[in-house]
Amino acid sequence: MATEDKNRATAAAILPLVGGAANVSSVVHCMTRLRLGLRDRSLVQDEALKAVPAVMGVVEDDTYQIVLGPGTVARVTPEFEKLVKEGQESAPAPDPAATPLTAEELAAQGAEMKAARKAKNATPFKLFLRKIANIFVPLIPALIGCGIIAGLNGLLVNLEWLPSVTPALAAMASGFMALIAVFVGYNTAKEFGGTPILGGAVAAIIVFPGVANIEAFGQKLSPGQGGVLGALGAAVLAVYVEKWCRRWVPEALDVLVTPTLTVLVSGLVTIFGLMYVAGEVSTAIGTFADWLLSNGGAGAGLVLGGFFLPLVMLGLHQALIPIHTTLIEQQGYTVLLPILAMAGAGQVGAAIAVYFRLPRNESIRRTIKSALPAGFLGVGEPLIYGVSLPLGRPFITACVGGAFGGAFVGFFNQLGDAVGSTAIGPSGWALFPLLDGNHGLGATIAIYAGGLVVGYLAGFVATYFFGFSKDLLAEFNVSQEPAASTTAATGPATAGAGPETPAKEPAGV
C-alpha cells in the first residue's frame, strides 16, 4: 500500500471511532499526537480506537489526543482533516420532521459536558501550562532544524573545512534564534485571544537593535534583553490592552486607535519595564541551572531524570520549553535536556525487560518490537501507553532507570563537564547531532552515551527483578493466541468481554 493510501486509511479508521465528522470541532497536531476537539465525548470508542494498528495510545485532556508517533501524525492529520471536511460538507440536511432538542435541553447538555470536562482537566495550573505549551510547540521544528545546522557548522569550523560555506550555515542556524521573540509574541497573542500580528509587533521591540540607545533603571538596554520571557510578557500585555480598547474605543475609530494604543502602551511598558525584569529573570534561570548541576550534580540529575516520565505521560513536559529556550539563548545550549532525555533510556530498558519477562505474551512483545525503534530515538509515548503504564509497576521501574541515567550525566556536570543540547525536541539517539558542551564534542558525546547506557541497564535491571509481582506475571505471561481464536469463533460481540481483556492487551497493541 502506498504511503499516502496508508495514511488515509489510518485517518478513515480513526474518524468513525471518534463519533464521525459531525462530532469533530477542531483538528491540530503536535510532534506525536493528533489533538481533536470533540462535541460529544461519549461517542468515542476508546478500546476500538486503541486497537487501530497505527494508534499507540490515547490521552484525554482538554482535547482528545491520539498518539500516532512522530512523522506519522504529520502525515495522517491532513488526511484526517480532508475526511472531516468531506464528511461535514456531505452531511444530510436536518430532517424537519424530527423533533429537535429545545434550547433548554441543549444548554443543559452542554453545561453538563463542560462541567465534567472542567472538573477533570481544567485546573488553573494545567490550563496555564497548556497555554505555554501551545505557544512554543509550533516552534520546535525550526528549533530542531536550526540546531542541527548549528551543530554541523560547529563541526566544520573545528575541522577547518569549507570556510566559504560556514558563514552561510551560521546565518541559517542563527537567524531564527535572533528573531524567536517575534514568533513567541505572535503565538502568545494568538493563544490568549488577541491579534497575533500585534503580539509579534510588540515582541519585535525586544530584538530591535535601536534599543541599545535606550536607558532603563540606570542601565543601557541591549537587543534581545529578556528574550522569550520578555516577548511572552509583552504579548500578553498587548492582548489585554487590545481587549480594553475593543471594549471602549468607538467602532468608527477602532481600526486606527486600537492597534496604535496597543503597540504604544505595550511597547513603552516593555521597553521601560519588562525587558529589564525579564532579563533579570532569564539570567536567574541560567544561574540557577548552573548552580543546581554544579552543586546538586548526581542528586539533581536523579530527581530530574526520575520525574520526567510522569510529565511526559501528562503531556506537561512541553511547559519546560521556555526554560530550555532561555538557556539556549544565554549559553548556546540547554544543560537540562540531556538529563531529562535519560527518562527515555529508562523506558527503553524497562520495555526490553518486559519483553524477556513475558515470553508467552505475543501481543505485548509485538508492541515492544514495533515501539522500540521510536524509543531509542527518544519518542517514549508508544512504550509508555502501550507497555509500561498499562502494566503499572514497570512504569515506576522505568522512572528508576531514568533517575540513574540522569544521575550519571549530572555527576559529570558537577565535575565541570557540561553536557548540553543546542536545540529542543529530539531525545535519545536523535540528540547526538545536537550535543554541545564546554570540553569538546568527543567528551560531551561520551558522557551522554554513557548516561544512555546507564539508563538502559538500570531500567532493565529494576524492571526485570522488581517490575512484576507473582500475580502480575501469572496474569500477563500467558499466550494471547487462544483468546484470539475464541474471539474469532464467538464473533465480535464477545471480543471485549471480561474485565481482564483490556489489561492483557495494553493500549496501542
The confidence score (pLDDT) of residue 502 equals 40
Q: Which residue has the higher pLDDT, 490 or 199?
A: 199
Q: What is the pLDDT of residue 494?
A: 37
pLDDT digits (tens, 9 = 90+) for 245-274: 999 998 888 889 999 999 999 999 999 999
Q: Please give the mean pLDDT across all residues of the chain.
A: 82
What is the per-residue pLDDT for 123?
Answer: 65
The predicted pLDDT at position 323 comes to 87
Active-site residue set: 30
Closest to 405 in 3D by CA, of 302, 478, 287: 302
Full 3-state SS string of 428-439 = HHHHHHHEEECC
pLDDT tops 90 at residue 137? no
Cell of 226: 529578556
pLDDT digits (tens, 9 = 90+) for 372-431: 888 898 877 778 877 888 888 999 999 999 999 999 999 999 898 899 998 887 788 988
Which residue type, as a one-letter code, is found at position 433?
A: P
Question: What does the pLDDT average to over 479-490?
Answer: 47
- Confidence label for 495 from pLDDT (cuts 50, 70 and 90): very low
Looking at residue 5, what is its pLDDT?
Answer: 81
Q: Quick one: pLDDT at residue 116?
A: 53
Does 59 or 127 have the greater pLDDT score?
Answer: 59
Answer whether residue 352 shows pLDDT above 90.
yes
In 165-226, alpha helices (H): 166-178, 180-191, 196-207
Express each pLDDT in 406-419 by its tens digit: 999 999 998 988 99
> What radius of gyration do the chain's Cα atoms show?
25
Q: Please report the pLDDT score of residue 2 as a whole number.
A: 64
Compute the distance between CA of residue 410 and CA of residue 338 in angstroms, rounded to an integer.
9
Q: What is the pTM of this model?
A: 0.68
